Chains A and B, each alone.
Chain A
Amino acid sequence: GGDSDDTTTTEAASETTEAPDETTTTEAASETTEAPGETTTTEAMGEFTAVATCFVTDDAGVDDRSFNASGWKGVNDALATGAVAADPIVLESTSAADYQPHVETCLAQGAEHIVTSGFKLADTTAQFAADNPDVQWTIIDFGSLGDNVTGLEYQTDEGAFAAGYLAAGMTQTGIVGTYGGVNIPTVSIFLDGYARGVAHYNEVKGADVRVIGWDVEAQDGAFTGTFDPADPQVRATCESQLDEGADIILPVGGAINLPCGTAIQDRGIEGALIGVDADAVEAMPGEYMDLWLTTILKGIDIQVQRSIEAHASGAPTGGSSSVGNLENGAIGLAPYHAWEDRVPAELAAEVEQILVDIAEGTIDWEKFVVGAG
């Protein structure tokens, strides 16, 4: 098993702290504007001094197929590039009581870089980051919490806005749908941007596309109450939107989009799904391949990877609290894949333009407030 390695970890840890490599500082850190899809960070294995890394999930667990999973993937990607020392530790929380001991365990195991996944870990991270200035920290879905903490926040609704516009242009029934796991900001930001994107389409085109599942005014909508895709409730939530005639649906939260895919397939309707986080065509099982119209990319994995790599290359990004968005490439829209031929060129161009406009700030719309911790 992976047990006899704790000695290696500590060794590696002591090695690196003893000999901090300060040569290759700037390069990797400044390269933050690439689109999250394109993984091009690796120059050469030799450039990194591998750092002992520890990953602490929030109570959703590492296999949530959402931000915890993405973050852990980022750690493993960094492992592949040699930025992370062998056998990074992952500590799964089952409740809020686990956060602190897990972080303490990370420190006790000699972690040099600790990734805390999710806004729920913010306070714990802040406290321990202050007490352990030598350790580098990355927190997902929260702003920076100190000089040694990289905050990864995402203005996801920028991508969702464009996706909403796209969906409004693509729907055949004039109705598009969206639902989430539970009404928490990291989820509802997608729903909000999506609904506003549809509204923008209606405004621009004088169309009357209806969104079901999100009420912009009430900031509330359709939720499954669970992130467990196997709960019959999830599929039923999707079906209830299909029943109303929605044909393009954006489900937000782990894998709760999969049952929706099966529902669309079972009903034999010309429907589509919009994925979230990582390009669904690559991340999700093959049987759903044709369903993904696009994915609203939220580059957690890549940002985590970069943050660790920056550390490993001696240029920690700590203290940065910049929000990932379209402009800096942490947010994006995935290729249309199977839908490439079906999306009219004109619409594709409009969406492209919207992405640019948002990035440049020329579209006027009310953005979702991120973090606000």
Chain B
Amino acid sequence: MSDQPDVPPDDVGDPGPSLMQRITGVGESARRALLLPSLALVLALLVGAVIIMLTDVDAWQLMGTDAGAAIGDMFEGVWVAYRELFAGAFGSVRGISETLFTATPLILAGLAVAIGFQAGLFNIGATGQMFVGGLFATWIALHVTLPSYLHIPLAILAAIVGGGLWGGLAGLLKAKTGAHEVITTIMLNFIAGFFVLWALKTSAFQDEGSNIPQSSPLPESVQLPTIFGDEFRVNIGLFIAIGAVFFIQWLLYRSTTGFEFRAVGSSPGASLYAGMNVAVLITLVMFVSGALSGVAGSTMTLGLPPYRVSESFPGTIGFDAIALALLGRSHPYGVLWSGLLFGALIAGGRTMQAAAGVSVDLVIVMQALIIMFIAAPELVRAVFRVEHGGEAADQVTRGWGA
């Protein structure tokens, strides 16, 4: 990882990082921090446009008879798709609300993956941890009667415990037996998914007399309050996510535990030498990572109208989170921005699907392209003829080394 951990600038005599750097937290210079991602985004949009045109079956069928109209249709298709994508993400209060709402669990799960990377662990298990965390939160939601200001924190605490245990289990297995976390977290995803499917059919969750695998409606006292009113879904989960960003930032760079996490991540040998308990740290990192995923899961159970939990609430967030963490270079602020970007893409993608008939799958392609271009700056430079920055590509992850 070439990102230098930011020892607090005010504590070091020299002029610290610029304001832009402190805000974005991603790079050595503001220019690089913003220029590269913007160019990557532009490039991804361009490639996406080509894909929309190439897959426009109707236009291609028209090509034989009226090539001009066909090409016109293709460009029109791209224009409408992107217009709607943008409008769906930012064009209205609803759009902004949807962007922020979608970004909420993405940021949390992205942080989960990122903190793993910082500590040299590859947590592919955000999905499973969301499952367990979300289920724990749901249990508290249904079985405890408390006023809102206690009920919500307690449910989220349960999500922290549930997700944390599920993540910590993978950490413990790694620390004690060397079982690689990539394997165990993938397997734990499947196990958690089936467990939730089963659990939702038990009387602990299901409506009396129902046989549908979904929970009974969550009481109002545990529903995450919305921010802009009930017709907009964005809720205080967003503040929790942003709070988590700052907390993880503090944890990683200002606390002894974070120092240990990063040390273990960069150099297990040096951590052992420095007297850190590597096994405990690995378990702890996975616990924290799982806890973050668990909170992400709870925002999808406590914060998703109509507040009834069904078996697929984590959706694809756990996998998007990997991309997100990579895009944010495993840095909390980077994750925040990437989470908002992905939230906008997904929220806008829904509108695009409806208005332009372009399948949401295009968003997945664009995510891939953005990550690729950011990870391979040289590619972008070659296209835009930006001058060479002289830095090598980042190595964000470590291989399989135990």
Q: Which residues of A contact B (CB under 8 A)?
A: 1-4, 6, 59, 89, 91-92, 94-98, 100-102, 104-106, 109, 119-120, 123-124, 126-127, 182-185, 225, 369, 371-373
Q: Closest A-chain residue to B197, C-beta based? A: A182
Query: Looking at the complex, which of B108-116, B180-188, B303-311 is the stretch in contact with chain A?
Result: B303-311
Pairs across A and B, CB under 8 Å, 9 listed: A1-B74, A3-B81, A59-B315, A95-B312, A96-B304, A97-B101, A124-B305, A124-B306, A127-B305
Task: Point out the residue from B80, B197, B313, B315 that lies within 8 Å of A3, measured CB to CB.
Answer: B80
Q: Closest A-chain residue to B217, C-beta based? A: A123
B160: which A residues are within 8 A, CB to CB? none
Query: Looking at the complex, which of B17-25, B208-216, B250-258 is the stretch in contact with chain A?
Result: B208-216
Q: A3-B80, A3-B81, A369-B211 are in contact. Are A123 and B306 (CB under 8 A)?
A: yes
Shortest CB-to-CB span from A251 to chain B, Å, is 19
B329: which A residues are within 8 A, CB to CB? none
For the complex, what is the distance from the CA of A101 to the CA of B209, rounded to whole Å? Answer: 30
Can you add 5 more A-B contacts, CB < 8 Å, to A2-B357, A97-B300, A123-B305?
Answer: A3-B76, A59-B312, A96-B310, A123-B306, A369-B211
Chain B window 76-114, contacts with chain A (Cβ cutoff 8 Å), 1 for yes, 0 for no: 110011000000000000100010011000000000000
Q: Closest A-chain residue to B354, C-beta based? A: A105
Q: Are A3 and B77 in contact (CB under 8 A)?
A: yes
For the complex, what is the distance from the CA of A358 to the CA of B306, rounded to whole Å? Answer: 37
For the complex, what is the distance from the CA of A185 to the CA of B210, rounded to whole Å? Answer: 9
**B281 lies within 8 A of chain A by Cβ:** no
Shortest CB-to-CB span from B99 to chain A, Å, is 11
Task: Point out the residue from B213, B315, B357 that lies within 8 Å of A96, measured CB to CB.
Answer: B315
Q: Are A95 and B308 in contact (CB under 8 A)?
A: no
Task: Point out the residue from A2, A94, A185 that lies within 8 Å of B212, measured CB to CB.
Answer: A185
For the complex, what is the distance from the CA of A82 to the CA of B181, rounded to whole Å? Answer: 57
B316: which A residues are within 8 A, CB to CB? 94-95
**B350 lies within 8 A of chain A by Cβ:** yes
B73: which A residues are within 8 A, CB to CB? 1
Q: Are B353 and A373 in contact (CB under 8 A)?
A: no
Shortest CB-to-CB span from B195 to chain A, Å, is 13
A100: which B residues are within 8 A, CB to CB? 233, 305-306
Q: A369-B211, A373-B212 are in contact. Are A101 and B98 (CB under 8 A)?
A: yes
**B59 lies within 8 A of chain A by Cβ:** yes
Q: A2-B58, A97-B300, A126-B306 are in contact. Are A91 and B354 (CB under 8 A)?
A: yes
B212: which A residues are within 8 A, CB to CB? 119, 184-185, 371-373
* Interface set, chain B 187-207, CB cutoff 8 A to A: 194, 197, 201, 207
Q: Are A91 and B58 in contact (CB under 8 A)?
A: no
**B26 lies within 8 A of chain A by Cβ:** no
B350: which A residues are within 8 A, CB to CB? 91, 98, 101-102, 105
Q: Are B308 and A123 in contact (CB under 8 A)?
A: yes
B94: which A residues are within 8 A, CB to CB? 104
For the complex, what is the distance from the CA of A57 to the CA of B77, rounded to whole Å? Answer: 24
Q: Taking each of B317, B354, B359, which has the highest tally of chain A beta carbons within 10 Å of its own beta carbon? A: B354
For the complex, what is the distance from the CA of A194 to the CA of B215, rounded to whole Å? Answer: 28
Shortest CB-to-CB span from A8 to chain B, Å, is 13
B77: which A residues are within 8 A, CB to CB? 1, 3
B213: which A residues are within 8 A, CB to CB? 184
A91: which B residues are within 8 A, CB to CB? 350, 353-354
Q: Are B209 and A372 in contact (CB under 8 A)?
A: yes
B81: which A residues are within 8 A, CB to CB? 3
Chain B window 331-372, contacts with chain A (Cβ cutoff 8 Å), 1 for yes, 0 for no: 000000000000000010011011111011000000000000
Q: Closest B-chain residue to A185, C-beta based? A: B211
Q: Are B310 and A120 in contact (CB under 8 A)?
A: yes
A127: which B residues are within 8 A, CB to CB? 305-306
For the complex, what is the distance from the CA of A120 to the CA of B200, rounded to whole Å? Answer: 13
Q: Closest A-chain residue to B193, C-beta based? A: A225
